[in-house]
Structures are given as C-alpha cells and as structure tokens.
Structure 1
C-alpha cells in the first residue's frame, strides 16, 4: 500500500487557511477590525476544533482583533459550511501568533549590535 504524503488533517488545515483568510480579510474591512492575516490553522485529529493563528500589523491592537474574530467565529463557521465540501466544519478558536513579533525583536537586537558575551572554552 503506498504511503500518503499528506494526512487528511494537513489537507483540511490548508483548505481552511485559504478560506478563513478570505473571510478574515473581508471582516477586517467590513467590521473595522485591526489589520490581521491568518498565519496558520491547526486542526485536531477528529476535526472537531480548528485553532486559527493570526498575526497583526499593529501588535498592540492584537487583543482587539482576536476578540472581534472570536465574536465572528460562528458566522465564519456557517460561511465555511457553505463554501467547503465537509460533512462537519470544525469549531474555530482564534489565537494570536506572536512569533513574528519575537523574530522582529531578535532582529532589532542583533542590528543594534549590543555587547557580545564571549565564553572562554579554555578556562581551567
């Protein structure tokens, strides 16, 4: 039996990421939410829950964006049921992905060229 390259959850996650990205883009425009984008979607094995990771252009307004998207979650789920060919659309959980913020912080620290701490390997 040939092995599958992708698991079903990976395919569902990719499709949800595309569709939710479109819905979030429209919601940002229509509901005057802070500008956000969908960075990833993780689906549980049973396809009961989908965690939607978002990033914001203004990190200080990320809590406002997550709160607004949580309120729109049931509406998104209903729209997804019309858009996708799935028997049951998973419930959506929105979380802020701070990895971009952490990366930018590390990059700025490296650019500043702060003090470099050396450890002598030859200490005895």
Structure 2
C-alpha cells in the first residue's frame, strides 16, 4: 500500500469515527433532561396513559435504542410504581425485565395500574 492510499484509509477511518461520535447517544441523563415525567402508580388509568405518551415522546426525541427503552422508562418510576418494578426485577431478573419490549412493558403496567372497571369507564 502506498503512503498516499494509506493516508486516505486513515482519513476515512477518522471520518467514520467522527461520524459515530457526532451521532448523539441516548443516555439516562439526556432522557431525563428531555422532559421524561415520573410515574408514581397513584395517577390512575388516565395518568398512566398520559405518562406513556410523554415517555414515548421523549423516546422519539432522544432516538433511544429499543434495548434501552424499558430501562430508561423504569428509571422514571417512583413510590408504589418503583416497588412494583423492583418486584418484577426480583421475579424475572434484571436482564430479562429490561430486555422486554416497550409494548410488553406497557401491557404489564396496564394490568397493574388500569383495573378493568377503569378501562371500561375510559371506553364509555
């Protein structure tokens, strides 16, 4: 390889590294700073649905990777909801709990915080 092509290869590698660094990574710090709301588990069905909307907005804004979505959202749980999450982590294991999809996490939260009678009231 000549010096010139070696230099081009190094420039290319440097540019690729700079592009990776220029792509912001979603971190819990940027997630929180982007307006993620806390959820306490006492807000009722409407409060939970509103929380889902706010979290989904932040997930979109921060371009949060799918594998981090549940972990970051769970980081916003407080009080009763945090106790519920910690029980889930103890039962399933941390890796399995945070590896579930955002949709599966939402279903579990709906089962816990939206009794059937509240859902029926919302629908009517």
TM superposition score normalised by structure 1 = 0.27
TM-score (norm 2): 0.27
Question: Greater RCO between the two (CA within 8 Å, min separation 6)?
Answer: 2
